[in-house]
Amino acid sequence: MTTEQQVTCNGQRIVALTLNVANVGPWVAELDFEVAPDVSGKVTINIGALALIGTVVPTQAGTHLEQRRVRVVAGAGGWGRSLPRKNYHNDAKIKARLVADDAAREVGETIGEFEPEVERVGSDYVRSVGTASRVLEHVIGERAWWVDYAGRTHVGVRPAVPLSVKTGDVLTYDPRNRALTFALDDVSQVQIGSVLSQPPLESAQTIREYDIRIDASSSRIVAWCGGGATERGRLAGLLHAIARRATDGMLFGKYRYRVVAMRDDGRVDLQAIRKGAGLPDVQPLSMWPGVAGVHAELAAGAEVLVEFIEGDPGQPIVTHFVGQGGAGFAPVSISFCGSEQAAARQGDLVQSGGVGTTCVFLPVPPPIGPAVPPPTMMPGVPYLVSFSSSAADLPLLAKPLYGAVATGSPKVRL
């Protein structure tokens, strides 16, 4: 294969090309032109019969000594651009495709096949300022995404496709790095998920990332065959691992749990709701509800959020409780300031009087009191009082006075 005959960009000859195709994200091509053509914006790269549509990165292109060199990113090159904030709400839950399509449209990309981990992401989605690719990865979950040669973005699982390579075309294989170098007459045949199994390979190898490298003297493909179907690739995976290692062992964020049981000492046994979060069931755990002097006896099955103080796995606490309408929203009971006294609510029944009640009678002067003096009552002498008009209720069946709490604080509801 020679670049003079088969490799061009917008019709201009390319003397050297390196095309990187990773498991996740857009492909990236680095082009060295024969001369210095005015090539920018959206371009088409032709490698033999293979056509790739991408966009020149303006900040990574230039001319030196009458030769132009550029970097081209698949599609519109928009997934690295920043998006403004935006809020979504739908009581029937928001479709992941809606959020993804909005992000793609705002940065000039288009989405083809779309198979996210879950179809709907929840009733709310708050899109903060950040890159478009971050939004896409949020809503697709544990799925790979990539931009094809035609510039369209896809989400889903790539199929494993057999790739036939002549024995003599396998140039080198390094089992330590899972790196395979081979030649191929038609480079359009290789893709992520391609499986090579013929000699001299001792076992089948699945391509997860590859470079197509072409210059005036040679054409070859360098493929990396390690990792799983959703891993980002060598460099991106390494950077991700470094960032993860910097916070290794720390647990930041809130994690959903379900109440299994309450203990007598006020602590709670919990079951992890989503096993994919990588956390075990925990017991017993203390509650830090965020309101001084308040403690709740939670209902079995109630959903709560667990956090870790300062990210320390040794300091888990319950900090939040499900809202109205959620599972276990109403607790069994709530106590304030450690009190064991039962609280009365507006409308609750109260009583006074009855057998054993001691009453003190005081004369009421006119005009409120009667004009005729009441019968003489001896100090210190107990008198039977019954709140009943039936003589049968006297003397041993004295009736108490029943009533209801008529008013209460509008700021406290129990």
Tokens at residue 200, please? 């001299």
Whether residue 328 sits in one domain with residue 278: yes
> SS3 for 213?
strand
Asked if residue 405 belongs to a domain, the reply is: yes
Q: Which of 277, 303, 336 is the last residue of a domain?
A: 336
**What CATH number is given to the structural domain containing 314?**
2.40.50.230
Model pLDDT, residue 373: 59
- How many domains does the chain divide into? 3
Model pLDDT, residue 212: 95
pLDDT tens digits for range 258-297: 999 999 898 999 999 987 777 888 888 899 988 888 888 9
> SS3 for 41?
coil
Q: Which of 141, 156, 171 is the last residue of a domain?
A: 156
Is 135 a residue whose pLDDT tops 90? Answer: yes
Provide the pLDDT confidence category of residue 2 given band limits of 50, 70 and 90: very low
Residue-range definition of the domain harbouring residue 388:
343-414
pLDDT tens digits for range 338-359: 777 777 778 888 877 665 566 5
Between 151 and 204, whose confidence is greater?
A: 151
Asked if residue 349 belongs to a domain, the reply is: yes
Whether residue 311 sits in one domain with residue 366: no
300 half-sphere exposure, CB direction, 13 A CA radius: 3
Whether residue 361 sits in one domain with residue 324: no
CB 297 within 8 A of CB 267: no
99-113, 155-169, 340-354, range with greatest mean pLDDT: 99-113
**What CATH number is given to the structural domain containing 135?**
3.55.50
Whether residue 104 sits in one domain with residue 137: yes
Burial class of residue 45 (count of CB atoms within 10 Å of its CB; 0-12, 13-18, 19+): buried
Whether residue 277 sits in one domain with residue 328: yes
Please indicate, yes or no, whether the overall pTM of this predicted structure exceeds 0.75: no
DSSP classification of residue 292: T
Whether residue 330 sits in one domain with residue 273: yes
DSSP classification of residue 343: P
Q: Which of 312, 336, 360 is the last residue of a domain?
A: 336
Whether residue 312 sits in one domain with residue 354: no
CA angle at 401 for the pair 398 and 407, rounded to the nearest 5°: 170
> SS3 for 5?
helix
Tokens at residue 53, please? 């549509």
Asked if residue 132 belongs to a domain, the reply is: yes
β-partners of residue 14 are: 33
Asked if residue 24 belongs to a domain, the reply is: no
